Amino acid sequence: MTPLAMLLTLSSLMFTLGLLAVLTRRNAILVLVGIELMLNAANINFIGFWRYGPSDPALTGPMFVLFSIAIAAAEAAVGLAIILMVFRHTRSTDLNKLDSLHG
């Protein structure tokens, strides 16, 4: 197993775990935890390909991770702000209870 394959396996496993968290968790904040895991799995791929792939003068791998981190932070901030607002309305962060748009 080459290091790259190992990193890719790690990343796919981590992505699956994140997906599992998003699918099974009912607490909105913990769903966000799953999303963070998935984003990080993607980042591992980028770093792995940069490290073990062909040389790239534009440094796309680290750059992409940098932007991804920035956007993940933004996403977390907005996501949590929305969750807080929802919590203020319904006194709960349980996604199953947020069904007022069901019709």
Partner 1 sequence: MIPLLILTPLILLAALGAVWKARPVHAALLLALTLALNAILYLVLSADFIGLIQFMVYVGAVAVLIVFSLLITRPGDEAEEIARRPRSLVTGLACSLPVLAVMLFIVSRFENAGQAVADARSVSIEQLGTTLFTTHAPAVMAVGVLLTAVMIGAALFAREPGKKTQTPSDS
> Measured between alpha carbons, how far is 19 from 61 in angstroms, rounded to an integer?
23
Q: How far is the CB of 101 from partner 1 (least distance, A)?
A: 18
Query: Could you tell me which of 73, 70, 64 has the C-alpha nearest to residue 43?
Result: 64
b/e 68-88 (16+ beta carbons within 10 angstroms → b): beeebeeeeeebeeebeebee
Backbone φ, ψ for residue 27 (5° rounding): -80, 125
Residues 42, 52: Cα–Cα separation, whole Å: 16
Cβ 91 to partner 1 shortest distance, Å: 8
Cβ nearer to partner 1, comparing 55 with 103: 55
Q: Which is nearer to partner 1, 95 or 103 (CB)?
A: 95
If the CB atoms of residues 18 and 103 are measured against partner 1, the closer one turns out to be: 18
Q: Which is nearer to partner 1, 72 or 103 (CB)?
A: 72
Min dist CB 102 to partner 1, Å, is: 19
